[in-house]
Amino acid sequence: MSDDPSTCVLRFDHVWLSLPGLHGVGLAVDLMLCAGDLVLVQSGDEQHERALADIACGLVPPQRGAVRFLGRAWSDLEPDQANALRGRIGHIVRHGAWIPYLGLLDNILLPQLHHTRRAYDELRAEAARLAAWFGLPGVPTGRPAEMPPSVLRRAACVRAFLGAPLLIVVESLEGDLDAGLLAALINAMRVARDRDAAVLWFVQDRDLYQDPSLPATARLRLLGDALVPLERAA
């Protein structure tokens, strides 16, 4: 990770976040993701993972400190400004987060339709290209409940990479990743990093987390109430 603030995509400044339902238990985070970074985080706990992902995307505020995306603190933004910035974030949610009464195509396009002014046909064409990248024959149109898990996993990747996001947040999915999808996801991350996006990837599986073939710029692990580099956590 670079120490140059001018290239910073996401920054946690002296952040403290408490965990839902666990009074007095929390996590201290100082973290900077710059253009081209791939940061792996082994949280070991779904609550920590979800809390960090939500705070990174500006969905909930930290109890202390500030989270900045593209140099702007989420807490300083008006709602319409925050919504516009979220159009530059792709997010693969661990449990899908699909709207059940919408078709999968509309679920995929909805974040970009809500946060940007891009035309529907343009977004659908881009979604079709990404669907092929992630091993789908086309963009699925049925409702989420009608789709097998393998299709939903690939559709989640399409949604996350749609719109050339500058930050991609990936919640732990390795239990649901077959070899083909994992390879496609890593390649999509590489392409995104080549255009100066940053990736924050939560990984539960120890072997995947330590895989030397993953070109991570940093590997962090939850130790006590803080995230620390892998070498310090060993």
Tell me the per-residue pLDDT of 58-80, one tens digit each, with 9 for 90 and over: 998 998 999 999 999 999 999 99
Q: What is the pLDDT averaged over residues 40-64?
A: 88
Report in angstroms the alpha-carbon separations of 225 from 16, 25, 120, 218, 228: 9, 8, 44, 19, 10
Report in angstroms the alpha-carbon separations of 161 from 63, 110, 188, 219, 222: 30, 13, 8, 22, 27
* 218-223 and 226-229 beta bridge pairing: antiparallel
Mean pLDDT for the chain? Answer: 89
Q: What is the pLDDT averaged over residues 132-154?
A: 94
Query: What global pTM score does this model have?
Result: 0.91
Confidence (pLDDT) at 174: 67
Confidence (pLDDT) at 1: 52
Three-state DSSP at 199 gives strand
Confidence (pLDDT) at 36: 96
For 12-30, the pLDDT digits (tens) are: 999 998 766 545 567 889 9
- Is the confidence at residue 42, as pLDDT, over 70? yes
Confidence (pLDDT) at 232: 44
- Is the confidence at residue 56, as pLDDT, over 60? yes
